[in-house]
Every structure is written in structure tokens, then in C-alpha cells.
Structure 1
Amino acid sequence: MAGLTRVKPDADLEEVVQILERDGAVIVEEFADETTLAGLWADFGPALDACAYSDSWYDGHRTRRVSSLFARTTRLTPVVTQRLYLGAARAIMQKPIPMWIGRSRQEMTPTIQISTTQVIQIHRGQGKQPLHRDDALHLRTHPGTTSRVQLMLALSDFTAENGGTLVIPGSHHWDDERAPQSEEAIPTVMRAGSGLIWLGGVYHGGGANATDVPRTGMTIALDLGNLRQEENQYLAVPREKVLAYPEEVRRLLGYDRCPPGLGWYEMHDPYIVLEDEETQRAAGLGTIAV
């Protein structure tokens, strides 16, 4: 394949889903506007500047990483709810699962949740990251049902020379015995504000930076709601920061119950802990300190 398929923000959602299911990855040009980018740089830039390089070979000795992103900014709503990203994640992962409860056949549709967030800045001298699958964190087998849909938003331009994310298209169709080869991977080339969306079963990794300009990207992963979050959002994002976001994002952060019954609190939807005192009392609960 010469390169990853590119679409515009007004692309047909079904077409984008088809591309993802076929290739495992797609680039959405103009994913975020200049105002959003400038705001994210204002919120994350100081943390990046103060951050030391990673101390592990896997994360990169010439790479800076900042996490807990929803606690550091209130500007992520248009990113995580972007039509093609969230829409594709819901279409691919939120599929009904049949089950029997006694003699009643039920269909349960899982929720999805924000699993991990990071700003990743690759500096000159950083080599290629080992190719890997992010959904391997859940010790799952391949090929199989998609359990993660991930985004890399370019906060700076991505090129083949500065560490643009390496992707092996179609590798989500491989079994677990086939090893990835570096020559199979192609670099993500995109302008700042564009977004790479890929499936959790796709082999990928950060590229090498041979330039004098850091390559900066922000990643958010959406996972099935019945899996443990990679980054513990309940610890990463204080309650007052969660409340700064709309309900859809609050639920994506994990304050939601995944059918048939995962994540409840005192037999209630966990969203109750974000409600006001009157609503909590009406539900038979005292005021909850979180």
C-alpha cells in the first residue's frame, strides 16, 4: 500500500468504518481546528516542557510523555466526540451480544470508555519504537472482535523523518504467531490538526526522529466498557475536572454502567456520584464524597 487512506471531516461515516475494518487505520485531515490546537498547546505545553524524557527503552529515552489529559484541560470535548472518531468507535465496538437469562433471549450492547490519554513528543535522536498492538494489554487473541479504537491527533506536523507513527495496514487481520517486520510499516504523514484513527489490533509504533524539530501528538484510546481502563481515569481526573465536561464525556471517562451490569455503585448507575445532593438523596443515598 502506497499510504494510508485520507478522508475529510465531512466523509461518510459508513465509508470510514469500512476503511477501518479493511485497513485498520485511516487519516482524517483537518480533524481539529486551529483554535482547538492552540488551546491544547496552551494547556499541555508547559507540562511537556517540564517533563523529563522517558526512562524506559520502550517509551523512548528521547521521548516526553504527559498523561492525565482530561485533568489538564477542558478542551477535549470536540476531539473525543469528533463525528468520525466517536462514530466509528461506536459502530465498530458497540455491537449487540446475545445471551440467555433463564428462558429469555436478550441482546446486550456494551458501552465504550476512554482508556488511556497521552501527549507524546519525540525528539531528535529517538529511534523507532518496537511495533506492537495496543489491545495486547488485555491479553486477547487475534484476529477477533475489535476492543479498542485509538486516535493520534497531530499537534505538530508528522513526517517520515520526524517520527510520524509507523503503521502496518491490515495487520489487525493477522494471527498472534505472525511477527511484524519493520519494512512492512509505513509512516503517518499528516499536517498538524489531522488525526490518525486505528484499531487496537493494528501493529504500529512511534517513528525515529532525525530532524531538529520535535514531533508532538496526542493520543486517546476508546475501549469496550467491560475492560479495565489502561489509564485509571478515576484517579487521573479529579471529580471537579470531570464535572467541567458534558455528560457524554463524563460517561466516556467511566461514569457509566456497561450492560448487563458492570460498574454499578450501590446498585445504581455510577453517574449518580456526579449528580447533585438532591438527586442522590432521592435515590436513597447520602451525599457521596468522591
Structure 2
Amino acid sequence: MRTLTTVAADAELDNVVKLLDEDGAVVVRDLVTDTVLQNLWNDLGPGLRGEQFGRDATAGTRTRRLSSLFARTRHLTPVVTHPLFLGAARALMQQPTSIWMGRERVQVTPNIQISVTQAIQIHPGQGRQPLHRDDALHLRRHPGPTSRVQIMLAMSDFTELNGGTLVIPGSNHWDDDRAPRHNECVPTEMTAGSALIFVGGVYHGGGSNRSDQPRTGLTIALDLANLRQEENQYLAVPVNDVLAYPEEVRRLLGYDACPPDLGWLDMQNPYTYLRRHETATHGAPAADSTDEPKR
């Protein structure tokens, strides 16, 4: 049976991309610092405690889920912009494609965006989650190009006993007729602050928590920006909360146009609107890259 490879947080990006392409998942040891982890707990812990358990097997009847994370904390930048997560997502998904514009054939490269954010706390007594592919939301056919790269940050230790995420390595290469089975899974085992990075086409699911303590993870998905976001970030994160993040994260939250012509506002890149709003409410915005009109 194939296993999950663990790499250091300063591993070579090319190696991580290769592992994701082959196995569909990889564990990154100590992806964030203890300080970042504690800040996330301080911001998200109270909200998690106030959430109700889910109502079905997919959501988990002994599982708490907290969404709209970029509106609840200012400490996600080291997670979403980590070179091995964001870098792998760009390498796997931002592939050029050729289209005709009149008589000219041009190459267009899509960008990527934050699709869903959740803190997920699996409590003792929770059974295994049904195995699934996250890119099924977009009715993707398999095997095929990668349209989602996701991270599961361990906010507490992940073990086989407490429900560490189950993964079927290599299942990202299966066709759509082959059904996943739990006896093909391996559990994600990693310490708090480490992370599982996986592609949307790999079969996975939360494990059964047979311990006496909850298991908590934080997940963020990056999707191709020409696909609809799973979580509506424009309603989930108020504009003033978006402005608390650096430019790269603002654009990942959807305030950017996807080539060739998706997501514009008044025929301009929506980041132009965001900068105007920042100027109107906070004075001169911080310097960042120059925005060009949509055309």
C-alpha cells in the first residue's frame, strides 16, 4: 500500500509538485510557527466552541465546522501564501491555454482564488466521513487537469486514532468508474503546525475519532479562478476585513480578474475598486502593484 510522504517546510517546490502529481497528497512538517498556531487558536477557538455539530454523515454529527475564516482572523497569510502551498497551486493549475482572438492565436493563463475556508473539529465518537473528491463540486472528469489544491493545517496533532484525514494516495489518477474503499486509505499523521497538502482529485475523508480528545484542522482550498468559489468570499469576508490583508491575499480572495475576461467591474480589474474603497475609507492605500484596465 502506498503511503504519504512527509517533507520539511523548506523542501524544494519541484519535489512537492512531483509528489502531488504522483500521489495527490503530501505532508509538510512544521508549516507554521507556534506563534501563528496560537494566534489562530485565539481567534478561531471561541467560534468553534460555539458551533453546533453537523446534521449528516458528510458534515459529521460529532463534528464542528467554522467558516468565513478570513473575516475571523488576521493570521492566515502565512498559511495561504506558504511557498509550498501557493507555489504548488500555481505550478499545477496556472497552465497556459491557446485561444483565438480574431485572427490572432494567443496564450491565456488563468489565475487562482481562495474557494473555501473552514476550521474542522472532529470530536470523540465521530465515525469516518464518506470518501470523496473535492473537485466533484465542479463536476470534473477524471483523470484530468488539476483544478483545486487544498491544505489541511493541523491545529492539533493528527493521528490514526483521533481521525487524521484519510487519503488514498494515487487516486487522483483513477477514472470516475472506480469507487474508493476505506481499506485503501492511509491516515494522515502529523503534529500540530504541520499540514497536509492535497489535490482536488484525490479521494479523502475525515477519519473516525476513537480517542478521548477532539482533533482540529484548518482547511483552505485554492481553485482555478474561472470556476465558482465553493464559499462565497465576497459575502463571507466584509471589504474592510479584506483590506486588513496584503495585496496577494486580497487578490486570492477574488478581487482580481481572471484572464481573459472573468470577474471585471466596470470593465476594469476589481482590485481597482478595492483600492478606491481603501482610499475613501482609510486614506491613501499602501503601495502595491499597478492595476491595468481590463482591456
| TM-score normalised over the length of structure 2 | 0.93
> How far off is 1:276 after superposition?
2.8
Residues 1-290 of structure 1 aligned to structure 2 (within 5 Å): 1=1, 3-276=3-276
Counterpart amino acid of residue 103 in structure 1: R
> How far off is 1:2 after superposition?
5.1
Secondary structure of the corresponding residue to residue 27 of structure 1: strand
> How far off is 1:239 after superposition?
0.4
Secondary structure of the corresponding residue to residue 275 of structure 1: helix
CA distance in 2, matches of 1:86, 1:93: 10
Q: Which moved more, 1:163-172 or 1:47-56?
A: 47-56
CA distance in 1, matches of 2:132, 2:95: 26
Counterpart amino acid of residue 247 in structure 2: E
What CA deviation, in whole Å up to 9, does each residue of 1:40-86 have, x standing for no partner? 00000000111111112211000000000000001000110001000
> How far off is 1:277 after superposition?
5.9
Counterpart amino acid of residue 161 in structure 1: L
Q: Give me the identity figure in percent.
A: 65
Secondary structure of the corresponding residue to residue 90 of structure 1: helix
Tell me which residue corresponds to 2:289. Answer: none
> How far off is 1:147 after superposition?
0.1
CA distance in 2, matches of 1:25, 1:178: 19
Tell me which residue corresponds to 1:287. Answer: none
Report the aligned-residue RMSD: 1.2
CA distance in 2, matches of 1:98, 1:189: 42
Counterpart amino acid of residue 253 in structure 1: L
CA distance in 2, matches of 1:227, 1:175: 21
Unaligned residue ranges in structure 1 (runs of 5+) = 281-290
What CA deviation, in whole Å up to 9, does each residue of 1:182-226 have, x standing for no partner? 100110000000000000000000000001110000000000000
> How far off is 1:272 after superposition?
1.7
Tell me which residue corresponds to 2:286. Answer: none
**8 Å CA contact retained: 2:57, 2:130:** no
> How far off is 1:279 after superposition?
7.6
CA distance in 1, matches of 2:46, 2:273: 32
> How far off is 1:237 after superposition?
0.1
Tell me which residue corresponds to 1:288. Answer: none
Change (3 A) 1:278 1:151: closer
Secondary structure of the corresponding residue to residue 217 of structure 2: strand
Unaligned residue ranges in structure 2 (runs of 5+) = 281-295
CA distance in 2, matches of 1:210, 1:57: 16
CA distance in 1, matches of 2:56, 2:253: 28
CA distance in 2, matches of 1:2, 1:112: 30
CA distance in 2, matches of 1:11, 1:275: 35
Secondary structure of the corresponding residue to residue 222 of structure 1: strand
Tell me which residue corresponds to 2:287. Answer: none
Q: Which moved more, 1:264-273 or 1:129-138?
A: 264-273
| TM-score normalised over the length of structure 1 | 0.95
Q: Number of residues paired by the alignment?
A: 280
CA distance in 2, matches of 1:272, 1:56: 42
**8 Å CA contact retained: 2:243, 2:278:** no
Secondary structure of the corresponding residue to residue 41 of structure 1: helix
Moved over 4 A (4+): 277-280
CA distance in 2, matches of 1:186, 1:46: 31
CA distance in 1, matches of 2:57, 2:174: 26
Counterpart amino acid of residue 250 in structure 2: R
CA distance in 2, matches of 1:275, 1:193: 33
CA distance in 2, matches of 1:277, 1:137: 33
CA distance in 2, matches of 1:173, 1:277: 44
Secondary structure of the corresponding residue to residue 193 of structure 2: coil
